[in-house]
Chain A
Amino acid sequence: DAGVIQSPRHEVTEMGQEVTLRCKPISGHDYLFWYRQTMMRGLELLIYFNNNVPIDDSGMPEDRFSAKMPNASFSTLKIQPSEPRDSAVYFCASSMTGNYGYTFGSGTRLTVV
């Protein structure tokens, strides 16, 4: 298994543009998490899914952020419109029932100018 795959690795966009981040979890994992990492706030959970259903989105900063998981092998995190303060590294992670720990993707480094 190639692990959790995120794309793109880097994204530079202008303020106001729509940004879509993508994640492919490990096959067989039934939990998927989106985290944001910044120097100031560390790792923040944005949203997580179980069996493709959003369970907790209380960490989503505002309505500009949305996430979907149309099937077990794909999830997206969308920011529309993007703002400079959204600049961060966005990590996707997956896990299976039983709490064996998360497997993280390589992250997407987002820069909004």
Chain B
Amino acid sequence: DTAVSQTPKYLVTQMGNDKSIKCEQNLGHDTMYWYKQDSKKFLKIMFSYNNKELIINETVPNRFSPKSPDKAHLNLHINSLELGDSAVYFCASSQGSDQETQYFGPGTRLLVL
């Protein structure tokens, strides 16, 4: 029944490691997003894909690389993790129209030690 799911829910890792977060939506939406919410609770968009094509790419270090194998999945790979990458990462999806709601996944809590 879960509309937007993410794995893992929690991720604790050492600096310098490479890790991936996966996202899947079963809503039939054609647009997916990655957001980062830092310790001050600011929620900022990182990337957006529409039908597997990158349409939004905010100023994000190139250690972050999104991949969309199909329109129901959007994964985020992070190379050479840094302390400042510790945050909650939310995946979201929406239908194509500009008026459509974005539905968020439960978040992945990343802690870099």
A-B interaction: no
A residues with a Cβ closer than 8 A to B are none
B residues with a Cβ closer than 8 A to A are none
